[in-house]
């Protein structure tokens, strides 16, 4: 199974979508991607299910706005266009023989930012799944920094070490790196990449 993954498309050139020629089964949006970019990508691949998480720069109603726009678009054009995007924050989804769940935002740094304080995040019930998708990674993991915005969730660190998902895939840090925590293979995605669940490999498209 292959997943098309997007993260942190802050300045997005829609022509980049033309570079995507890989076969995939579902799309994942890992935050900090505006509504116009999401709609463009969904309509480029209307037959693929889409799942998303909010990033710290996103607005609370982002996915509802996107889905409402797509609904109106379908009604006007009288056709079945893109699938609506499903928010997977703290939700477990079974997809084929895999399960995945998600965690939005980063460590909360002001009252309107998307995410949780470290204390709040540690009280969350993140479902056990094969793959953890998140915007932010775990505290103390490679690529984390000392500033509060990029310091990482202690809750993700605890989850990965206790639940041992096969994979942890996240964005936020604007780099493409891979590392391993115990038995969990971790990937940071920046831009667009394809992930092959059968081989555990990730490759960048743009």
Which DSSP string do the residues of 54-94 spell out, in sequence order? --TTS-TTHHHHHHHHHHHHHHHHTS--PPPEEE-BT-EEE
pLDDT value of residue 81 = 76
**Lookup: tokens for 115:** 């995410």
What distances in angstroms separate CA 30 from CA 74, 156, 162, 199, one per listed residue? 25, 15, 23, 21
pLDDT at residue 11, as a whole number: 86
Strands 191-196 and 184-188: unpaired
pLDDT of residue 82: 83
pLDDT given for residue 2 in this prediction: 98
User: What CA–CA distance (Å, rounded) separates 172 from 115?
Assistant: 12
CA nearest 33: which of 18, 50, 55? 55
- Per-residue pLDDT 10s for the chain (206 aa) are 999 999 999 988 989 999 999 999 999 999 999 999 999 999 999 999 999 999 999 999 999 999 999 999 888 988 777 889 999 999 999 999 999 999 999 999 999 999 999 999 999 999 999 999 999 999 999 999 999 999 999 999 999 999 999 999 999 999 999 999 999 999 999 999 999 999 999 999 99
The two tokens of residue 191 are 């831009």
Predicted local distance difference test score (pLDDT) of residue 56: 98
Q: Provide the angle, in degrees to the nearest 10, between the axes of the packed helices 35-44 and 62-77.
A: 50
DSSP state of 157: H
Q: How many residues does the chain have?
A: 206
pLDDT given for residue 86 in this prediction: 98
Q: Are 100 and 130 in contact (CB under 8 A)?
A: yes
State the pTM of this model. 0.96
Q: Determine the pLDDT at residue 44.
A: 94
Sheet with 85-87: list strands edge to edge: 85-87, 50-52, 26-29, 2-7, 191-196, 201-204
Question: What local confidence, expressed as pLDDT, does residue 83 receive?
Answer: 87
Distance, in Å, from the CA atom of 46 to the CA atom of 57, rounded to the nearest integer, reads 26
């Amino acid at each position: 199974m292959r997943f098309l993954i997007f993260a942190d498309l802050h300045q997005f050139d829609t022509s980049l979508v033309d570079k995507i020629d890989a076969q995939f089964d579902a799309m994942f949006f890992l935050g900090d991607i505006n509504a116009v970019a999401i709609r463009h990508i969904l309509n480029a691949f209307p037959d693929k299910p889409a799942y998303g998480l909010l990033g710290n720069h996103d607005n609370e109603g982002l996915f509802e706005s996107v889905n409402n726009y797509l609904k109106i678009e379908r009604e006007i054009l009288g056709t079945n266009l893109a699938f609506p995007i499903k928010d997977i924050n703290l939700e477990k989804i079974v997809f084929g023989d895999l399960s995945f769940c998600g965690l939005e935002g980063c460590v909360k740094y002001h009252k309107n930012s998307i995410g949780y304080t470290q204390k709040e995040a540690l009280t969350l019930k993140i479902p056990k799944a094969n793959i953890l998708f998140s915007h932010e990674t775990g505290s103390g993991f490679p690529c984390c920094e000392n500033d509060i915005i990029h310091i990482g969730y202690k809750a993700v660190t605890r989850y990965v070490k206790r639940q041992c998902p096969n994979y942890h895939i996240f964005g936020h840090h604007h780099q493409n790196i891979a590392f391993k925590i115990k038995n969990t293979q971790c990937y940071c995605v920046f831009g667009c990449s394809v992930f092959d669940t059968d081989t555990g490999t990730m490759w960048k498209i743009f």
